[in-house]
Amino acid sequence: MARMTTVQAAVEILKAEGATCLFGVPGAAINPFYKAVQVDGAFTHVLARHVEGASHMAEGYSRARAGNIGVCVGTSGPAGTDMITGLYSASADSVPLLCITGQAPVARLHKEDFQAVDIASIAAPLTKMAMTVLEPAQVPGTFQLAFHLMRSGRPGPVLIDLPLDVQLAEIEFDPETYTPLEVFKPCASRAQIGRALDMLQAARRPLLVAGGGVINADAAELLVQFAELAGVPVVPTLMGWGTIADDHPLNAGMVGLQTSHRYGNASMLEADFVLGIGNRWANRHTGSLSKYTEGRTFVHIDIEPTQIGRVFAPDYGIASDAAVALQLLIEAARDRDLPDWSDWVRECGARKQAMVRKTDYDCVPLKPQRVYGEMNRVFGPDVRYVSTIGLSQIQAAQMLRVYKPRHWINAGQAGPLGWTIPAALGLAVADPEATVVALSGDYDFQFLIEELAVGAQFNIPYIHVVVNNAYLGLIRQAQRAFDMDYCVQLSFENVNSPGLGGYGVDHVRVAEGLGCKALRVFEPDDIAPAFDHARELMREYQVPVVVEFILERVTNVAMGTELDNVVEFDEPEAVAELVTASQG
């Protein structure tokens, strides 16, 4: 046993639990913790420019690989409230994230002290635990429980709030005998798996839906193994994109109202059985439940028992970790004589070949489709993409290609503007050898643009693609239903950059002012060379490189109200006929 401050004990527990990197902003109420971090010397610390940015950096770090837990640190008051969006995003997408905040001394918590806010109550609905630690001796147990909760069951975030006097107090703690709590994950039984396979065996046109839970469980290889063994096509969700490579013969495409493929929707509408693994039946995936479920039988496997039946009642539900369930499915399927679904696989493959959206536009101003087509050609299968919200993200999900798990990093449910820059930085810190390519519309890019300076200061290189139409494009498209175009235009004549032609903010000059490199592209033939140049600049200077594309002001992106009513734009005639035939 040793006598030490509570924050020294917290630092020892962070190391024992595998944390190596912190993202945060020091402040008066959290300085004792920072002193313990400094004295220990074992951690990398990335200084954010905004605490919300720090929380998203920690998210990107967590999402980078299985087992990672990003840690975000801030002072009392507004630092904690700034973290709320990060907690929301992490909670919504089942991402483990530890937020540590400073707090006013215990005796002043009820006296409206400077920057004293009940952050635990504010954060409680968005976390698996949010606790203001009032007794110094509780600090080790609180951190131990935090890591247990973040990793157990459905992963998620935790907030620990440390009053200043609690941080300064001394306790007895023995780091040499500290042991992490055993992680709990529900496991399917063989009987449950047998029932699911009975239902699959009765199907004529089955599909597997692979959600983010497959990625969280590090079970993508098991998913592909089961799909190949059974001969069943796979629909990855947006959060499960990369569980099966886009060019795999059994990848049937994504389904939904926005981030989807035409061929994915067409195959879903033809399916008679769906086995969902680690997915949550998000509304942008399903559209109306009556259309989504019509004529289909459903089995739902999810790590969170209350997720089963939350959106609609499946015909059969199993509470289980995805990896455990898939391993049992593989073992059980080997002992069965499953039907031959090869004709169905060929049908799905034919749709996938024919129902492809057009990207080879030569227009000036640029069409975004051309940008995404060139990204596929230039960056190849090893790139790691980061994006969050807007027409840029929706159309990218329709047109980019992803080949590996965790190579599409996306804030799926929350979709906070500004998330992309800090999340990309967190990913690049976690995987410094990777080619990280972030994608933003101009508004998402502007929200937390100051975080580019973090990449410059700490030499965190990545490429940031900005598709600029000087519009809130997704909201503009949605406003068509109200016959308006109101407060969504970002265009203005920039007196300092007349060459922009009314496109407003000069992102190149801003990025360069923040210590990064930046390029601007107007012509379609310059897109691929710009990406090549960006990679050279990134390697040479070890800073973020912004590549801005000046787009046509208005591009309507395919989306709709139902799986059979997605409105397409610029649709080739032959494909239009095939779509009509598949829906009729």
Catalytic residues: 25, 51, 417, 472, 475
Please say whether the beta carbons of 60 and 44 come within 8 A.
no
**Helix-then-strand count for the chain, H and E:** 25, 21
Q: What residues contact 176, with CB distance under 8 A and at least 6 apart?
A: none
Give the rounded distance of the alpha carbon of 322 from its chain centre: 18
b/e map 155-190, b = 16+ CB within 10 Å:
bbbbbbbbbbbbbbbebebebeebeeeeeebbbbee
Please say whether the beta carbons of 266 and 233 come within 8 A.
no
Q: Which residue, chain included where needed, has tokens 């965190």?
A: 460
Closest residue by Cα to residue 387 from 22, 375, 377, 470: 375
Please say whether the beta carbons of 527 and 376 come within 8 A.
no
Closest residue by Cα to residue 213 from 281, 159, 157, 147: 281
**Burial class of residue 355 (count of CB atoms within 10 Å of its CB; 0-12, 13-18, 19+):** buried
CA angle 359, 364, 368 (to 5 degrees): 35
Q: What is the spatial distance between Cα 494 and Cα 504, in angstroms, rounded to a whole number?
A: 5
Look up residue 174 and give its amino acid. Answer: D
Give the rounded distance of the alpha carbon of 13 from its chain centre: 27
Tokens of 532: 């090549």
Q: Which residue, chain included where needed, has tokens 């990672």?
A: 68
